[in-house]
Amino acid sequence: MAGLNIADIPLPPYDYRIDLLSQSGTEDIRFESLEDSKAEDLRRAQGLKRTMERFPEALEQQHALGLMLRLGASYAGEGYRTLASSVYMRDLRLRNCGALWQLMDEDENPATGTLVRPGSKMPAGGLQNLVPRCSRESLRTDLNRAGAADTDGWFYAFLHGEFIPNHGQYLPHWHFACSDSFRPVIDRLREQSAYQPVEGGQVHRPVWMTRAPLTNMPKPITYVMQAYWPSRAYFLDADGKERRVRTKRAIPEPYHSQWMLWMDRWEPKDLALLMGLRVTREGLIRTKG
């Protein structure tokens, strides 16, 4: 019998339901409503239909048609387990963010952050070549080289990415949360060649981690597992360095539809790395410390 994974995490207790806090207006946090997610799934289904007509050679037609029908059914209230669905992703985020929040409440000074290998960029049409399980195992190897196996801390990461329209590239990366005792492992990643900035590149800080206490919970937790991959352009600043615009936009077609088909290929566990943690019927528990 296969073990439990992050898709099996239960809904958290009331006090850790980020959606309810968002609806109450008492917390400075935005979390998509179920109605918003259903409407987004309808937009995605309609977008797939248009892209199939406008860019027939850019999509695998049978796969696209099947996903279009499933997303349309999601809008009608039928839930389908696909990472291409905003409704399903919302439910996954509710469960995982709630479990992480409980875990972080028990830690003295937990952190969140981002890990990017500057050499991981890929062309817009090449997303199908990204195998998240391989990226996950590469990250595990990097962390073990940095001493993860010898710490009593915990680490949770989920794969994310951005589309860079003016470069025609994707930049996959990992958002994470970790215990205070895992911080030295993250810091030691900076010594590895894979996490060195590339001169003239878009990634100025391949390893970024919060230092100050997270006083605005649960907002930082929603950063760890995000609802979608955005499109964000880069520009040259006054010093000639490339900077990223703040505004997030939808990935343009046909790449957005290709991204949905790519997401549909994978299970949540493929995009997640847990160290020092185990999924149970009650949520996430530490296996060390």
Query: In whole angstroms, how large is the CA radius of gyration of the chain?
Result: 19
The answer on pLDDT for 239 being more than 60 is: yes
* pLDDT of 204: 78
Q: Considering the chain, what percentage of its residues have pLDDT values greater than 90?
A: 80
| Residue 274 reports pLDDT greater than 80 | yes
For residues 186 and 184, give the distance between their C-alpha atoms in angstroms, rounded to a whole number: 5
**Domain definitions of the chain by residue range:** 6-286
pLDDT at 273 over 70: yes
Nearest of 86, 159, 87, 69 to residue 120 by alpha carbon: 159
> Each residue of 42-94: pLDDT tens digit?
999 999 999 999 999 999 999 999 999 999 998 777 778 999 999 999 999 99
Q: What is the pLDDT of residue 237?
A: 72
Residue 25: its pLDDT value, please?
60
Q: Give the pLDDT confidence score for residue 1 in this predicted structure.
A: 42
Contacts of 12 (CB under 8 A, 6+ apart): 94, 95, 98, 99, 101, 102, 283
Q: Distance between CA 116 and CA 173 in Å, rounded?
A: 5
Say if residues 142 and 263 touch (Cβ distance below 8 Å). no
Identity (one letter) of the amino acid at 80?
Y
What is the pTM (predicted TM-score) of this model? 0.94
pLDDT value of position 241: 72
How confident is the model at residue 29, as a pLDDT? 77
Percentages (nearest 5) of helix, strand, coil residues in the chain: 45, 15, 35
* pLDDT tens column, 170-212: 999 999 999 999 999 999 999 999 999 887 666 779 999 999 9
